[in-house]
Structure 1
Amino acid sequence: MKENRYDYIIVGAGSAGCVLANRLTEDGRSRVLLLETGGSDKSIFIQMPTALSIPMNTKKYAWQFETEPEPYLDNRRMHCPRGKVLGGSSSINGMVYVRGHARDFDEWDAEGATGWDYQHVLPYFKKAETWAFGGDDYRGGSGPLGVNNGNGMKNPLYKAFIRAGADSGYLETEDYNGAQQEGFGAMHMTVKNGRRASTANAYLRPAMNRHNLTVVTHALVHKVLLEDKTATGVRFEQGGKVQEVHAREEVILSAGSIGSPHLLQLSGIGRREVLENAGIEVRHELPGVGENLQDHLEFYFQFRCKQPVSLNRRLDWWNKLKIGVRWILRKDGLGATNHFESCGFIRSKAGVEWPDLQYHFLPAAMRYDGREAFDGDGFQLHVGHNKPKSRGFVHVQSADPTQPPRIRFNYLQHEADREGFRDCVRRTRELISQPAMDEYRGAEIQPGEHIQSDEEIDTFVRQAVESAYHPSCSCRMGTDDKAVVDPRTRVHGLKNLRVVDSSIFPTIPNGNLNAPTIMVAERAADLIRGREPLQPAGVPVVMDEQWQSRQRPGEPERASG
């Protein structure tokens, strides 16, 4: 590198880092260095939406982290891939666009992240987005991120699933990212012109021709450099050569919910006991670093399909080839969608104020690696309890930056989380038994009709549940002694150091995490530049007014509990 001094140094070119790189260089004056451990995102398997399972399971594009044995999941080690490529996890994820419920962000504000309530964050969701059907009070019409519904639910199973929700007494929602999340409707994805709309494509690539942005790939950051209580730069390694670069203004960590706490700890910032056990000198004691780790779990409910309409008949090599060739030539067809084109958000029981269960509907029955689950036609629902109370940690193991941290989520430690998954099983069976699914519904393959009691469901869930790949909250934003960053994203007790990514969420939202991570980076960019935040939206939010006494609008009211 010719230079070693910049205004801002951003660590991690992922969902947040690419946004910051774009926004902090808009003025043409601030010199920004963006460091990324991975490399190019130009692979067809990243850019073609239907190939989403490949980059996530490829070492070249993703950190293949693994948890410690999870004590409440029969000591299973869980897969925890994180993006290691331009675009980060937005280049390897499922492209599902869910902001979360309005109350999720009001919860952040109540937890000490002052100013991050729904009305204040909505303008930043809008700023980031171009919604395929045009902007309005809730949706953006001119942002970098393209959002649409894939192929418009051409497969009849998508709409049958939505009708089944209505048959069950749930609401339909025209836009779960708008005024009303609760209900069943079309699902949205970050795809533009048939290509994955990662933050590398949406934000970074348009900024890479700016003279004041430098992007360095294959750079493993070892630590943040500190002088007393001030961050002055970072030390990183590229091609076997260790270098130091310095920041005039700030160092910003956007390495994700595993990478950011790990890098803080490698730098001597964190809980004293954790650092000393790893042989790292304590430079700044901050006990919340790496704690409060949260994630979403899900399992898939699989059914045989009585009609020859599922995607299972498109999973042979010949049909995959035709889909791929069409996408290469035209950027449309089955190659241009993630296939999750309808969804549902429901409350698990009366007394739950906003949805805590989420459905992704897939008109195929397949395994997580993309292979057929069984011969013949089928469909499946990915379902999970999205407001977990269990908490885990990310702990540095060694001063060697090439050694991964210890990761444990303590999945299903809390009884409320186990109860939530029992609700998932019972609500889903009721849903799929509705008349709308009669012409399609075949035998239940998984969990299997023999799984009925609480004990049987708990055993099945422990063995079958998988991560939804939403690690978050490990550098919590707030003002108490366990918070890592303040509401302006600055690390407590240190100068010129921020964390901006999903690790600073106080609690995990009800939905996928790419959209709120991008929103956080958009708002943080204004805070970093000293700009006044956008004016709060002041829009209504549609809620079930009888949430305390009923689980869904279409059932009789009853006492909560």
Structure 2
Amino acid sequence: MDETDVVVIGSGSAGSAVAGRLSEIPGLRVTVLEAGSRDTNPWLHVPVGYAKTMYHPTLSWNYQTEPEPELGGRSIPWPRGRVLGGSSAINGLIYIRGQAEDYDHWRQLGCTGWSFEDCLPWFRRAQRQERGASDLHGADGPLSTTDLRDKGALSQAFINAALELGFPANDDFNGRVQEGAGWYQVTVRDGFRCSAATAYLKPAMKAGRVRLITDAHVTRILVEGGRAVGVAYRVGNEERQIRATREVVLSGGAINSPQIMMLSGFGPAAHLAEMGIAVQRDMPELGRNLQDHYQARLMYRASQRVSMNERVNSWIGMATMGVQYALTRRGPLTFAAGTAGLFARVLPQSATPDVQFHFIPWSADTVKEGLHKWPGFTISVCQLRPESRGEVTLASPDPMAKPRMVARYLSTETDRQCMVEGAKLARRLARSKALGAFIEAEYAPGAAAPDTDEAMLDFVRRTGGTIYHPTSTCRMGSDEGAIVDTELRVRGVERLRIADASIMPTVVSGNTNAGCIMIGERCADFIRRAA
């Protein structure tokens, strides 16, 4: 049988970091199993390429939630990366760690050693900050974080609108204070996407320190006598197994990690029995506690030809952008899923920002349908710390079947109120002098929609969706219900750890990629110190 020392399941944000760092240990054999293919599609490397890859039939898992009770029964598309680099290869590139208070809250929940000050060295270790090193940022790590190469008048107008409304300017959302308006930093290096695989795995593979097996769909974790000893997986129609002499690290993400755990016999006993799966260990909370950031997108027709819409819908515009990017690695093809941002408080009880805005200098009803034919832009707002909790369960014992997931968005009054107030604030930003100068008309929700709570909630329910940050289905904690302990070891199973967004006790206040990479860094260190 094939053998290695450590098997890492998944090459996403955390998995790549785990494998890359473990490969630095002399003599340690590290093997990564990735369900997708290598990242050969050129759109995976062009920053704006996420619009082409996020719903790609082979590069994304293309999940769908079950009908959401508070959204009129709508099923929400949930793309997740199924390619080398995982979701870090198809995400919107924005680098946000979250608030220090998020991690301090984890510590308060029993996650000793996971306060912000505990995590900060690992954020710094991972980072190659273009602006240079500081007490908060690293400059020698593998993950490039850079300022946007091109910004644009529309995005600047959004920042000016926030300042006009009294919000402070913020030149570093990953500084000591998150609140305010400013430019996002992105995971881009020399004009190309810097995925976790680019940052961690590829250098290790080039040096011959990591073995990568692609198109490897994991079917279960092999367990003998309460100890993880390997992984069963499928390549095409061929069933394979690989033994792990040291550890198995599960980095499948908030959807696939609980699915693989349940397929392996870990999870709610009644649910496993219903699926006909032998129970290795009853874990009632596995797959529960699912959290995600819900977003509403307000869209506007621009009064000037200053958006990306008109360029994409013109052969001349497309050619110009392509040539500009090819020659200079600049221009609209370097845009992330948000250029400018705002973190704000909209609920009176919030001590720190409770909503995040992404300003996007283009507009579309859906990514699949393409950009609108007229100049336009989008103001996206999402709630940062939702109270709503969903779950992931199996739909079938067949490992090739997609799991079931329901987020239960907007299932609490606080969540509904927060999104309503966030949408109202988006409208106030649009009506400012700074941004209003660029607006011809409101496209969504539309001028006919009043500013009432009822109208805004109706709009949010009818049109909102995920901002692609599912977490917390294999939560970390010190209590008996937690799936992993504070060193990411699965409770009741030896030599098995989970490292990805699923272990977050609560979702962080912002984009999740940076936090996942930090988790991967820490997991590798736990394994190194356990040797």
Paired residues of 1:347 and 1:356 also in contact (CA < 8 A): yes
Q: Aligned equivalents of 2:337 and 2:253: distance in 1?
A: 26
Gapped runs of 5+ residues in structure 1?
533-561
2:283 pairs with 1:281? no
Q: CA deviation at 1:301?
A: 1.1
Question: Using a 3 Å threshold, how does the CA distance of structure 1 residues 211 and 378 change in structure 2: closer, same or farther?
Answer: closer
Cα RMSD after superposing both structures: 1.6
Tell me if 1:217 matches 2:214.
yes
Kindly indicate whether residue 441 of structure 2 is the aligned counterpart of residue 448 of structure 1.
no
Corresponding letter in the other structure for 1:30: L
Partner of 1:200: 197
The DSSP-based 3-state class of the residue aligned with 1:234 is strand
Structure-2-length-normalised TM-score: 0.96
- Which AA in structure 2 matches 1:407? M
Distance across 1 between alignment mates of 2:497 and 2:337: 37
Matching residue's letter, 1:259: N
**Counterpart for residue 470 of structure 2:** 471
Q: Which residue of 1 aligns with 2:350?
A: 352
The 1-side partners of 2:340 and 2:72 are apart by: 32
1:63 aligned counterpart, secondary structure: coil
Cα offset for 1:279?
1.0
Q: Which residue number corresponds to residue 256 of structure 2?
A: 259
Structure 1 residue aligned with 2:380? 382
Distance 2:519 2:343 in 1: 23
**Structure 2 counterpart of 1:461:** 460
Alignment of 1:156-305 (within 5 A): 156-305=153-302
Contact persistence 1:294–1:392 (CA under 8 A): yes
Q: Is the 8 A contact 2:94 2:337 kept in 1?
A: no
Which residue in the other structure is 2:320 paired with? Answer: 322
> Within 5 Å, which residues of 2 pair with 1:32-181?
32-153=30-151, 155-181=152-178
Amino acid at match of 1:268: G
How much has 1:432 moved relative to structure 2? 2.3
Instruction: Please give the residue correspondences for 1:393-472 in structure 2 after superposition, counting only pairs within 5 Å.
Output: 393-451=391-449, 452-472=451-471
| In structure 2, distance between residues paired with 1:430 and 1:27 | 54
Q: Which moved more, 1:470-479 or 1:140-149?
A: 140-149
After superposition, what is the alpha-carbon deviation per residue over 1:183-204, rounded to whole angstroms, capped at 9, x for unaligned? 0011111111010110111111
Q: State the partner residue of 2:520.
A: 521
Deviations 1:197-252 (A, max 9, x none): 10111111100033442110011111011112111111111132212111111111
The answer to whether the Cα contact below 8 Å between 1:277 and 1:397 also exists between their aligned partners in 2 is no
One-letter amino acid matched to 2:481: K
Quick check: 341-350 or 453-462, which moved more?
453-462
Distance 2:219 2:207 in 1: 27
Q: Output the amino acid matched with 2:529.
A: G
The answer as to whether partners of 1:109 and 1:116 remain within 8 angstroms in 2 is yes
Checking the alignment, whether the CA contact within 8 Å between 1:315 and 1:371 is kept in structure 2 is no
**Aligned partner of residue 27 in structure 1, secondary structure:** coil
Provide closer, same or farther for how the CA distance between residues 367 and 134 of structure 1 changes in structure 2, counting only shifts above 3 A.
farther
**Matched letter for residue 131 of structure 2:** F
Which runs of 5 or more structure 2 residues have no equivalent in the other structure?
Answer: none
Residue 333 of structure 1: how far off its partner (Å): 2.2
Which secondary structure does the structure 2 equivalent of 1:106 belong to?
A: helix
1:312 to 2:317 alignment: no
Answer whether contact 1:28 1:210 (CA < 8 A) is retained.
no
Q: Which amino acid aligns with 1:232?
A: V
In 2, Cα distance between equivalents of 1:375 and 1:17: 40
Shift of residue 428, structure 1, vs aligned partner:
1.5
Q: Is the 8 A contact 2:128 2:145 kept in 1?
A: yes
Deviations 1:109-131 (A, max 9, x none): 11222111111111111111111
Aligned length: 529
| 1:374 CA displacement | 4.2
Deviation track 1:286-325 (CA, whole Å, cap 9, x = no partner) reads 1111010011111211122223322222112512243234
Which string of whole-angstrom CA distances, capped at 9 and with x for unpartnered residues, describes residues 477-533 of structure 1? Answer: 00223210001000011110000000000001111111110011111111111179x
Do the aligned partners of 2:337 and 2:358 also contact (CA within 8 Å) in 1?
A: no
Q: Percent identity?
A: 38
Shift of 1:42: 1.9
Contact 1:191 1:337 in 2 (8 A): no
SS of 1:83's partner is coil
- The match for 2:483 is 484
